[in-house]
A and B are shown apart, each in its own frame.
Chain A
Amino acid sequence: MGDKTDVWQGTLTLMVLRTLEIMGPQHGYGLARRIEQTSGDRLMLNYGTLYPALLKLEQEGSIRSRWGVSDNNRRAKFYELTKAGQRQVRKATADWEQTTEILARFLAPSEEA
């Protein structure tokens, strides 16, 4: 269980950044739901772990937050990407693609044999 969360920590960051990039400013609840939807409801997020992750990104300067009003007229805190955040998404995406591509080569059925 512990190992899994560790893996998720890294990927969760990328999911958050990527979602913010596509969707624009989002509040925490909306972000969580959106990530679940994007995964085709195959992911079940622990919402409690989302906020420390958001705080970490904010401390690192990748995102910033401000209070605003949601679609159904509720006060909520909205998160959006900063310039640094946008750069980070691009870099993290590229890294991730490379990793998956390498891994895919290992996992692909052997052609020669």
Chain B
Amino acid sequence: MRKLRSLWIRLISPFRRRDADQEFAAELESHLAMHIEDGVRAGLSESEARRQALIRMGGAEQAKQAYRERATLPWLETLLQDTRYALRGFRRNPIFTFTAIATLALGIGATTAVFSVVDRILFRSLPYAHDDRIVSVGLVQSLERQEFTVGGFFFDWRDNQKPFEAFASQQALPHACDLVEANPVQLNCIHAQAGFLPLLGISPVVGRNFLPEEDRPNGPRVALISYGLWLSHYNRDPDILNRQIDVDGSPARVVGVLPKGFELPTLQAADVIMPMALNEGVERKSSPGSPMRTFARLRPGVSIAQAKAELEPLFVYTRETLIPAQIRKDFHLSVRSLRDRETKDVQLTAWIFLGSALAVLLIACANVGSLMTARGAARERELAMRSALGASRGRLIHQTLTEASLLSFAAAVTGMVLAEGLLRVFLAIAPTGIPFLLRAGLDLRIALFTGLLSVVCGTLFGLLPALQTPRAVALAARATKSRDRTVLRRSLVVGQIAISMILLSGAALLLKSFQNMREQSLGMQTQGVLMARIALPGFRYNTGEKKMDFYLNAEAALRRLPGIRAVGFSDSLPPGGWHDDERFADLAAEGKPHTAQGIGGSVVCRGVTPDYFQALNIPIIRGRNFTEQDRTASEYWVVLSRLLATRMFPGEDPVGKRIQRLRDGTWFAVVGVAENVKNGGLMEQDEPEIYFLRHSMAQDWGERAPVGEVMSGAAPLMIVNAILPPSAVAPWVRSQIAQLDPTVPVEIEPLTQTVSKLADRPRFQTALLSFFAFSGLAMAVIGLYGVIAYMTVQRTQEIGVRMALGAGRLDILRLILGEGVRLIAMGSFLGLLSALALSSVMKSLLYSVSPHDPLSFVVVSLLMAFVGLAATLIPARAAMKTDPMEALRTE
């Protein structure tokens, strides 16, 4: 307590101790006077008494010094002094100050904004207890890359596994459900086992989790609701517990409210969670049983690899007993950390973004370091003077570091503001599918990161100039040459150029890839095509019959409209997004031994009506299309894509041949071959494709639930090709559907927009990396200009001498340009080498561009050379115009 009080007084004393020194001087004087008086009284002479008194004092100045050190905190004094000195310096040189802060703020701001986006993807802990021990467990296969389990083996695994202390599932898919109340809403519902939330360490903010007896068939119907639903629909009603809510027409009792910000480990949206209530006995015997997503918590000290090894026997048993022999090889056991399960596919992009932002920051730091060095050179004599007057080396470094910290602190504050702005831009242009982006924001953690950045950066560029001791000769020399300062600055510039070369190369590759992607032929028409997704509430349209009636009525109504070319249905649409798959090995051509080894990859499947091909303008190149009459016939017909036709019937005409689907033994007759379309996403290779005819029969209109996608992807999509622009057609489509059933939600999107959305992510990556590359380039070029201009001024006298000795203006130009060219060449060379080494990391982000694409690298080198030379030319031209007489007179 006493220590604290004392520390506080000493801390604030520098700010109020104007007269404390004078006061102590007065006290000391009074002390001495009394002492002298005593001495005189004892018989000493006045001067002798004074001498003795001073000796006993130990020297008046020493006493004052000791007193001052006790009165304040000496390091604080130094700091304040340095700060005042630095601020004075900044005020005297506002251009330097502004440039330094702006440069750094750009670097820090960009890095902060990017960090806030990638933080949750790469670093921030997941919102579950023991998040580092939660894993996703299950099988993977070529048609489903995310771990899944089914009732047929889940219970075996749960009961016999050893590496986990908790093991539980959620339903594979949330489904659209209707909350039927005074104001009905459509929600996302999902079922989960009673052990699921405890596994994640989640307890409801209000109420409780499911009880085991509620997770049994025919148990009480209960529900947990999300915080968002509680807030928006029930206005945070504290009496929500035990309330009966009506979900899809049957009542459920609310037993709890999920915490704010709760997310499923699959990141799917869920407003209502209900018990899975599986019938264990039935599931165990069924093959395959209900699909699930299973998560588990590792026992402490067990690694993922160990857990996987321990599960291997269970997996082998499951594979041998449950999976048909011909596709067994396609199934693998997978155990992944939850972070990888959530964000594996964007981690690379996140690292590239963060790396680029840090590279820009590094260039900015180098730039400011270079500026400070130049400033140091200008102040060399001043520093040498201070050194000569007794300032220690440490004291001078301290001074420079204080300046650097002040600059980087100001830059950090500006950078935070900039980051907030950049983040808004990101959110505005960002694609869907970058997880957590919408929730990215600047919080304390991000601010700490920014603070850390600025400290590191400040130390970095603060120490650079401080590393050079002011030499005593600087005092004597009339003009200092400061050769080693330019060496340092030149290596900084070479480094900057090299780093910006790397950034530029990355941006160039992405740009080219993006262009390739944009210009590729999709093999179908997108202009004037609309896609309508109609979400029929499952509890009212509860049979395939009812659904089919609705869709066929809608089709008929739309066909009657003027200007509509074609109205077709399909369960999915190229070029990207969800689609149904079949293994190639599962399709057999009649009378042919199966040629493919193993699985043979996957085949895209779509169930379409005849008008699908007209609506998307996909040409039939052999045989015929399905006809309207086929729809009511009972035969099974298919159309193959050209790729599939050549793979299944090489060198033959497939029309009239038959194909068997092995998994259920159904035979299909091939009626035609359609031209290939882009169907594996914009960046992937085309896949073979098979079109099944969607008959006008009830079973063809029920929804097939794909594993791993949102439910809406599976409902039939309506495709409308019209002469009029989509903006004119969309309201018609809406009103026609509303006439059939005014309550069903309809989502309409022009196909051009769907395709453009697929390109969002590459576009975002390209835009962001280009932004970094050009910021880096700009700063590197400014750095280059600064160094060359500085050297030119330093060499004014030399230039004068050269000219006096007969050097022409062109020689001078060559001299200065040569200096610049050397730096550019060295930097570009280093940059190119590193870029070539690094660019293969980006391979998976590139579409039909090699990571070592020569053209991109040549273009980037030329750009760098051009911009660099332009920056050098400005000081070089100035040097060329030097008047030798004046140059010789300076100094």
* Residues in chain A within 8 A of chain B (CB atoms): 27-30, 33, 45-49, 51-52, 55-56, 59-62, 70, 72, 74-77, 84
Contacts and interface: CB of A to CB of B under 8 A. Distances in A.
B63 A51 contact: yes
Contacts of B59: 48
Contacts of B10: 59
A77 B63 contact: no
A104 B459 CA distance: 56
Nearest to B30: A76
Interface in B33-72: 33-35, 37-38, 56-59, 62-63, 66-67, 69-71
Contacts, number: 74
A103 to B, nearest CB: 26
Contacts of B5: 59-61
23 contacts: A29-B30, A29-B31, A29-B34, A45-B56, A46-B57, A47-B31, A47-B35, A47-B56, A47-B58, A48-B57, A48-B59, A49-B66, A51-B63, A51-B66, A52-B70, A56-B6, A59-B9, A60-B3, A72-B37, A74-B33, A74-B34, A77-B23, A77-B30
Nearest to A70: B34
Interface of B: 2-3, 5-6, 9-10, 23-24, 26-28, 30-31, 33-35, 37-38, 56-59, 62-63, 66-67, 69-71
Given A47-B31, A59-B6, 16 more contacts: A28-B31, A29-B30, A29-B35, A45-B56, A46-B56, A46-B57, A46-B58, A47-B56, A51-B28, A59-B5, A60-B3, A62-B2, A70-B30, A72-B37, A76-B30, A77-B23
Given A59-B6, A61-B5, A70-B34, A49 B70 contact: no
A75 B57 CA distance: 19
A48 B30 contact: no
Nearest to B41: A72
A47 B57 contact: yes
Contacts of A49: 58, 66
A48 B34 contact: no
Contacts of B3: 60
Nearest to B2: A60
Contacts of A45: 56
A76 B2 contact: no
Given A47-B58, A55-B67, A60-B2, A77 B27 contact: yes
A60 B6 CA distance: 5
A56 B72 CA distance: 11
Contacts of A59: 5-6, 9-10, 70
A33 B24 CA distance: 19
Q: Report the 7 A-B pairs with minimum CB-CB distance, sorted nearest first.
A: A48-B58, A48-B63, A52-B70, A59-B6, A60-B2, A29-B34, A29-B31
A21 B448 CA distance: 51
Contacts of B33: 74
Interface centre among A27, A51, A56, A77 (most CB of B within 10 A): A51
A77 B2 CA distance: 23
A14 to B, nearest CB: 15
B34 A55 contact: no
Contacts of B2: 60-62, 84
B6 A48 contact: no
Nearest to A56: B70
Nearest to B27: A77
Interface centre among B6, B34, B70 (most CB of A within 10 A): B34
B42 to A, nearest CB: 12
Contacts of A60: 2-3, 5-6
B68 to A, nearest CB: 9
Interface centre among A30, A55, A77 (most CB of B within 10 A): A55
Contacts of B30: 27, 29, 70, 74-77
Nearest to A61: B5
A45 B53 CA distance: 12
A61 B1 CA distance: 10
A29 B69 CA distance: 21
Contacts of B28: 51
Contact of B27 (A30, A61, A76): A76
